Amino acid sequence: MSRFTRLTPTAARVWVAGIGAAGLIGGAAWSGLAATPHAETPSAAQTHASIGHAIAGGRDSYADVVDVVSPAVVTVHAAGRARASQTQFEVPDDFFGQFFGRRNSPFQAPEGPAHRPRQSALGSGVVVTGDGYILTNNHVIDGADDVSVDLTDGRTLKAKVVGTDKPSDLALLKIEGSNFHSLTLGDSDAVKVGDVVLAVGNPLNVGQTVTMGIISAKGRSTGVGDGSYEDFLQTDAPINHGNSGGALVNMKGELIGINSQIVSVSDGNIGIGFAIPANMARHVMTDLRTKGKVTRAQLGVTVQTISPDMTEALGLKDSRGVLVSSVAPGSPADKAGVKRGDVIVSLDGQPVRDMNTLRNRIADAGPGSTAELKVIRDGSEKQVNVTLEAVDGRRAARDDSDTEGEHDGGATNDRAALGISVAPLTPELAGQLGVKRDTKGVVVRDVDPDGRAADVLRPGDVIQEVNRRPVDSVDALRNALRQTADKTVLLLVNRQGSDIFVPVKPNNG
């Protein structure tokens, strides 16, 4: 199984189960990582050579680009005390236990910050201004109290952490001095799949290294780390631990990305790496430099991807856009009239491809700006203008009212239609399920593993709507299902406090 992993500044890699395990590529190591050779096949080398010949004006070389880029890429050293949770130790031959400990470790470190061992991490960074501002990854310097950088001219300088932004995994450093060699930030939106790129950094602490590849894809999201704002450029330019925070550049020598993650089954390069796009980095850098923190805008909706089954149930011509599953009360979207069940197909005239696209573009628009949304509601297109507000971390307040709605007295079995059995939702049961006490709907008691809803419903789900019509009782659910004939049914479900739409094709025999 493939593994996404950040190029971590720690020896212990961050493994995440899922479509793969992704990982941060921060440090060559806290210590002891060994380089593994990755031989390039002749066919790949020939392909790269032919591309290089065409781009380099008849010369099989990228030396001119490297001459521009190399002096601006630095090695970042970060040191600090281990975190409070990292207090156990393991025998030295246990690679993970050395640094993070294991629960069954026979050794226990003394408690308190003064007794925590110091750790050192290594990554890369990019000088982006002549007066010494440097972009790197947040995970490279996270928790460090001592940061320094090695320049290519042999100098090592102390670096100040100007600010960090965990949601984007970016950090801004500052070194004292002037006339530093810096890179120009390019327009990452203009990058195309197939463009030739170079990755520059210090992988595995072997020294500054340049690798070449292409942009393999755009708009990727891995969900590793915080995962809040991701819009990665994917590249096959070889990158490994230690490349984190390094440069991904185009053939003009412009910085188009900050290398951040890889996907690998071996914890080494297999040709799938991810870089934070320069346009996102520019926004983060500007905010950190001028305000010390990053300000993002919010719309106030929860959205989800539209599946082919949903397309049918919603009466859409295609699956473009994203489906609004909830609107936060008092949010910008609520004030502008966005409704649950709306399909957002464009933002400011540009198509909305997926949830990631919408979230990132709203965030970058800035608080106080106006966003023009085109939505499809009940088969008709509508334009909605929304004045965005700053993200403040607040969540919509839950209404814990004891008001009871009207409910049927007992459970029923609707296996003929959906393969589920349901029961009335009471305020007490709602509280146990993590939904608002005044929520109307029915609770799924169990799901037939061979039934139509087996893949999309689970016990504890609260069914609130059938085909956009509320169901506040068992009878209401049964009657709604009888009217669906043999078409896909779109259910609005509250699952542990979050509203989502799920499509089910019932078997109304």
Q: Answer whether 159's CB lies under 8 Å from 134's CB.
A: yes
DSSP label at 189? G
Rounded to whole angstroms, the Cα distance separating 447 from 420 reads 5
CA distances from 238 to 12, 36, 155, 244, 269 (A): 21, 12, 27, 12, 6
Query: Hunting for tokens 């001095």 — which residue is that?
Result: 177
Q: Is 139 a catalytic residue?
A: yes
Q: Is 169 a catalytic residue?
A: yes
- Other Cβ atoms less than 10 A from the Cβ of 49: the count is 12
Query: Hunting for tokens 């999309």 — which residue is that?
Result: 456
Rounded to whole angstroms, the Cα distance separating 290 from 281 reads 14
Rounded to whole angstroms, the Cα distance separating 414 from 481 reads 9
Rounded to whole angstroms, the Cα distance separating 431 from 496 reads 10
Which tokens hold the place of 421?
């059995």
Rounded to whole angstroms, the Cα distance separating 245 from 53 reads 29
CA distances from 257 to 237, 261, 333 (A): 12, 12, 32
3-class secondary structure, 6 = strand
Which position among 150, 169, 461, 472 bears the catalytic label?
169
E strand spans, 26-116: 73-81, 88-89, 107-108
Q: Is 401 a catalytic residue?
A: no
Residues 6+ apart with CB under 8 A from 479: none
Which position among 124, 221, 244, 326 bears the catalytic label?
244
Q: Answer whether 200's CB lies under 8 Å from 210's CB.
A: yes
Instruction: Tell me how far the alpha carbon of residue 107 is from its chain's centroid.
Output: 36
Which position among 77, 124, 139, 342 bears the catalytic label?
139
DSSP result, 216-237: EEEEE----TT-SS--EEEE-S
Q: Which residues are catalytic?
A: 139, 169, 244
